[in-house]
Amino acid sequence: MSVVSDLLRLVPDERRVSNGESVLDQHSADLTYHSPRRPDAVVFPETVEEVSAVLAYADAERIPVVPFGAGTSLEGHVIPLHGGISLDLTRMNRIVAVRPGDLSATVQAGVTRSQLEAAAGPHGLWFPVDPGADATLGGMAATNASGTTTVRYGGMHAHVLALEAVLPGGRVIHAGSRAVKTSAGYNLAQLLVGSEGTLGVITELTVRLHPIPEAIVVARAAFPSVESACRGAAALVGAGVPVTRCELLDAVTIAALNAYKSTSFPESPHLFVELGGSASGVPGDLATAQELLADEGATTFEAESDPTARAHMWDARHNALHASLALAPGAKAMITDVAVPLSELAGAMENARRLLDESGMNGGIVGHVGDGNFHVAFLLDPGDVDSLARAQSLNAALVEDALARGGTCTGEHGIGFGKLAYLEREHGDLLPLLRGIKAVFDPNGIMNPGKVVPS
C-alpha cells in the first residue's frame, strides 16, 4: 500500500490527500537558500480527529510527519528532510471564539494572523504579534514568533494561554487554561511554543488580545549611521517612551524599498517608530521621542497619524525582504537573526556592518531594535559554493559576537535545521536534556525529524 492510499482511508477525500507534483513542490521548500526536498504525500486535515488518525498511523509505520502552516519560516523548518507526510493545517482555519470580556480568542491552528485581526477588530481588540508574513497562528506558536510589536507586547510565549495538540501515536492533549496566569506545574503549553513541530501538532490555541490604542502615531527618522539609529532606539526604550514598534532599516534596505514600492525615503539608515496610547498622552510622547532621536543625531523626523499613511509605512517595512529579493531575481536569502542585550546593540550592529564591508558581500540590515534583535539578509545563488561559504562564515561570526555579548543565535526565527550548529554552540551542555524531552513526546522520532535538536 502507498502512503497516499493509506492516508485516503483516514481522510477519505481525494481533494485533501495529494502527491501531485505542484502540491509536493509547494511543501518542499521555503524562501531561503536551503535545498528543497519533497514529501511523499501532503494531507490537509479538517478536524482534530483526522490529525489524530494520521499521527497514529504515521507513528505505527514510523513515517516522518512535518506540520505545515503558511510555510513562511526561514531555516528549513518545513522541508521534509526525510520525506514522509507534510501535514498542512490551513483547512483548520475556524475562529472558535472571540471573548472581549476576557481579552482572548480561541482559534484553530490554521487561522492566519490577518484573519484573527479581522475577527478581533470589530470588538475594539487586536492581536499584536506580527512577524510580517501572514503566518498561521499554529506556525507562529510553533516558532515562538515575534516581530515589530514585541518591544511593547511580547511574542507568542506572552500570548498563548492554552493549546490543544496531538502527540505522535494520536493522543489529544489540552494544556494551559483561559486564565491569564497559572502555576499548575510544568507548563506544557509553553513547552510546545517554540517546539517547531518536533513534539506534536498544535490544532487549537487560546491567545490573548489587547485593546486597540485610542491614538496611534508613526514617525520616520533618518540617521547618518546604523549605530546612531541604534542608539536612538535604545534611548527611546531606556527613557520608557511607550513605543509599540521600533524598527531599523539600513540605507541598502531603504534603497531596495524605494525601487520595489516606489517610495522616496532618503537613502540613509532610518528608524520607523510607532507610539500608541491615549489621545492626551501620545502627542507628549511624540515630542519626547523627537527630542531623544535628535540628541542621537536624527537628521529628519516626520510623523503621521492618518491610518492609510501608517499602513503604507508598515507595508514598506514588511516588504523589506521581498524588496531585497527583487534586486536579484532568482536569488535566495540567508537571514541572520541574532539578539543581544540592548546595551550591546550598537556595538553588535557596528561589528555586523564592519564584517559585511570586509567580506565584500552585499546585504541589507534591518532590526527589531527595540528588542536588540537584528537581521542581515544576504542574497545568494545557492549554487555558488563560494558565496554560500562566505555568507555562512559571516553568519557564524555574527553568532559568536552575539554570544560573547550575552545574546542568542536566534531572536525569533528559530532553529529549523539551518541553525542546528548554532544551537549546539549556544546550549551544547543542555543537549542531553533537550533530547530527553524530545524522546518523552516522540519516542519513535517521527515529528519533523532533523530539526531543533541535533542528533
Ligand X SMILES: Cc1cc2nc3c(=O)[nH]c(=O)nc-3n(C[C@H](O)[C@H](O)[C@H](O)COP(=O)(O)OP(=O)(O)OC[C@H]3O[C@@H](n4cnc5c(N)ncnc54)[C@H](O)[C@@H]3O)c2cc1C
Site map (CB under 6 A) of ligand X, residues 90-129, x = contact: -------------------x--------------------
Sequence-distant (6+) residues with CB within 8 A of 279 are: 214, 215
The identity of residue 374, as a single letter, is F
Site map (CB under 6 A) of ligand X, residues 200-239, x = contact: -xx-------------------------------------
User: Segment 20-59, which members bind ligand X (CB under 6 A)?
Assistant: 31
Burial grade of 1 (CB within 10 A; 0-12, 13-18, 19 or more): exposed
Window of 5-13, 42-50, 70-78, 422-430 that interacts with ligand X by CB under 6 A:
70-78
Window of 65-73, 224-232, 307-315, 342-350 that interacts with ligand X by CB under 6 A:
65-73
Say if CB 83 and CB 38 are below 8 A apart. Answer: yes
User: Which residue in the shown chain puts its C-beta closest to ligand X?
Assistant: 139
**CB nearer ligand X, residue 210 or residue 375:** 375
**CB nearer ligand X, residue 149 or residue 268:** 149
**Which of 162, 256, 321, 345 is the binder for ligand X (CB under 6 A)?**
321
Beta bridge partners of 121: none
Burial grade of 15 (CB within 10 A; 0-12, 13-18, 19 or more): exposed
**CB nearer ligand X, residue 67 or residue 285:** 67
138 is a site residue for ligand X (CB under 6 A): yes
**CB nearer ligand X, residue 104 or residue 319:** 319
196 is a site residue for ligand X (CB under 6 A): yes
- Of 155, 229, 182, which is closest to residue 413 (Cα–Cα)? 155
- Cα dihedral value 415, 79, 111, 443, nearest 10: -70
Closest approach of ligand X to the CB of residue 313, in Å: 16
User: Segment 424-453, which members bind ligand X (CB under 6 A)?
Assistant: 448, 451
Burial grade of 221 (CB within 10 A; 0-12, 13-18, 19 or more): buried
Burial grade of 101 (CB within 10 A; 0-12, 13-18, 19 or more): exposed
Instruction: Give how far the C-alpha of residue 311 lies from the chain's centroid of Cα atoms, to the nearest Å.
Output: 20
Closest approach of ligand X to the CB of residue 243, in Å: 16
With CB under 6 A as the rule, give the number of residues binding ligand X.
36
- Of 64, 48, 54, which is closest to residue 11 (Cα–Cα)? 54
269 is a site residue for ligand X (CB under 6 A): no
167 is a site residue for ligand X (CB under 6 A): no
User: What are 446's three cell numbers?
Assistant: 517521527
Q: What per-residue string of b and e applies to 329-355 under the rule 16 or more CB within 10 Å gives b?
A: eebbbbbbbbbbebebbbebbebbbeb
Closest approach of ligand X to the CB of residue 424, in Å: 18
Q: What is the CA radius of gyration of the chain?
A: 22
**Which of 48, 145, 251, 394 is the binder for ligand X (CB under 6 A)?**
145
DSSP class of 35: P
Q: What is the DSSP string of 280-315?
A: TTHHHHHHHHHHHHHHTT-SEEEEE--HHHHHHHHH
Question: What is the rounded distance in angstroms from the CA atom of residue 398 to the CA atom of residue 386?
Answer: 19
Closest approach of ligand X to the CB of residue 155, in Å: 7
67 is a site residue for ligand X (CB under 6 A): yes
Closest approach of ligand X to the CB of residue 281, in Å: 27
- Of 376, 414, 435, which is closest to residue 73 (Cα–Cα)? 414
**Which of 142, 161, 377, 446 is the binder for ligand X (CB under 6 A)?**
142
Closest approach of ligand X to the CB of residue 41, in Å: 16
**CB nearer ligand X, residue 147 or residue 445:** 147
**CB nearer ligand X, residue 132 or residue 269:** 132
Closest approach of ligand X to the CB of residue 123, in Å: 24
Sign of CA dihedral 386, 390, 393, 399: negative
135 is a site residue for ligand X (CB under 6 A): yes
Tell me the helix, strand and coil percentages in the chain, rounded to 5.
40, 20, 35
**CB nearer ligand X, residue 85 or residue 142:** 142
143 is a site residue for ligand X (CB under 6 A): yes
132 is a site residue for ligand X (CB under 6 A): yes
Closest approach of ligand X to the CB of residue 321, in Å: 4
Q: Which residues bind ligand X (CB under 6 A)?
A: 31, 66-74, 77-78, 89, 109, 131-133, 135-136, 138-140, 142-143, 145-147, 196-197, 201-202, 321, 412-413, 448, 451
